[in-house]
Amino acid sequence: GNSVTQMEGPVTLSEEAFLTINCTYTATGYPSLFWYVQYPGEGLQLLLKATKADDKGSNKGFEATYRKETTSFHLEKGSVQVSDSAVYFCALSGGGYSTLTFGKGTMLLVSP
């Protein structure tokens, strides 16, 4: 079956540091890949997506590239802000976006 593995947190960074959150997946066929973000007390917000190999999703300074050869979709940001502090979830869907398989989530804490 489908599965997503992402790095354990929390990830603690100072403002303006470079961020990488690793995500690898196992899936049959050609899944679509997503990063969602969850702020305290809130639901999930779509951060970015990629639907095929070598696609790069980007939004608000965050980027991730769909790497089929390494089955990875690592999230990066060049300079984090305190407001980026949240939990980040990597997810995939196969055969339609309606059913998502999520990783366990990675908490990011950014200090001034």
Partner 1 sequence: KAGVTQTPRYLIKTRGQQVTLSCSPISGHRSVSWYQQTPGQGLQFLFEYFSETQRNKGNFPGRFSGRQFSNSRSEMNVSTLELGDSALYLCASSRDRDVAFFGQGTRLTVV
**Residue numbers at the binding site for partner 1 (CB under 8 A):** 34, 36, 41-46, 49, 89, 96-105
Nearest to partner 1 of 43, 112 (CB atom):
43
CB of 50 to partner 1, least distance (A): 12
CB of 45 to partner 1, least distance (A): 7
Nearest to partner 1 of 18, 108 (CB atom):
108
8 Å CB contact between 92 and 103 = no
For strand 75-77 and strand 3-6, is the pairing parallel, antiparallel, or unpaired? unpaired
CB of 61 to partner 1, least distance (A): 20
SS3 48: strand
Angstrom distance (rounded) from CA 7 to CA 80: 18
Nearest to partner 1 of 17, 44 (CB atom):
44
Cβ-based neighbours of 105, under 8 Å, separated by 6 or more: 6, 9, 38, 87, 88, 89
